[in-house]
Structure 1
């Protein structure tokens, strides 16, 4: 099936292109100026609220979340403030590199790419390479590269999106799953390398 056969294409933008945490925190500071709640405490309470029974469609569910979070943290609470959080979505900022990445993607698909180097978000490859470098001699180049590719799936924001949004895990649980997965990848690679050597 060709892409032109589709009438509508959707993809997740909140947390991918849009800095929803930054947007919510900016609203918090406008709605409750001077309140001592920390950013981490507010976001943790928000995540807990999103895990509760009766969660609604986004962004309308932000109204319910405000009431829950306000009660838990002693924030000012009213229907107007709750609607304000929902409506603030329109003002949430894009991540700094989102526009550039989308523009370059559109140019590539249109066959009009310029001379700029292809856009690559972050430094995942370099960071993972440095972390796994001590195993390179044992693994060999091909397996080393495969390990980096596999680890790329559990290092970065994507793992948080999946495990938070689908499994409703908190940050500590997400880190434990990512750590366990990374250890399994490394153990398997070392086992394969030992079998090849033997």
Structure 2
């Protein structure tokens, strides 16, 4: 049991590191493909959806929080380490040794800030996933939170991105995906309610 938990934790850490590295590499043009790839991986919608997937198997808040944290914190660290090697934090002026310096303060500040954001996100997503698994009306509403955010962020970003055609396309599709997911959640919830209602009426009719 302990070995299984450790293996799952290591897989989440590795997945987070890979995700963070890919997001940074895409932003710096180090990945093959279209200009749309950085717009997908370099925005919060990809990070939120990936973290949500990481949290989904958990059935309690603590387990979900731990799963998201094991994914997001390594992702943040890997992202900024990749940025460091890509030259993002190179100093504009040479150091006293005559070589390019590194903005260590900026790097550490960014890493700490986004780790804190990652922990807050972990808490929020853990609460969301726990509510969804509990079901009922609260679960249905919780299921609509992420799709609603994707609709808001996607269409909102597309509206103000006239100068970036690739971002506009990606953001529009993110909004459409969020809308489709929201409709699917509502339809699935309605179907479950209908089945329970029908079963309840059948049981009441069959009662002596």
TM-score (norm 1): 0.28
- Higher helix share goes to which structure? 2
TM-score (norm 2): 0.27
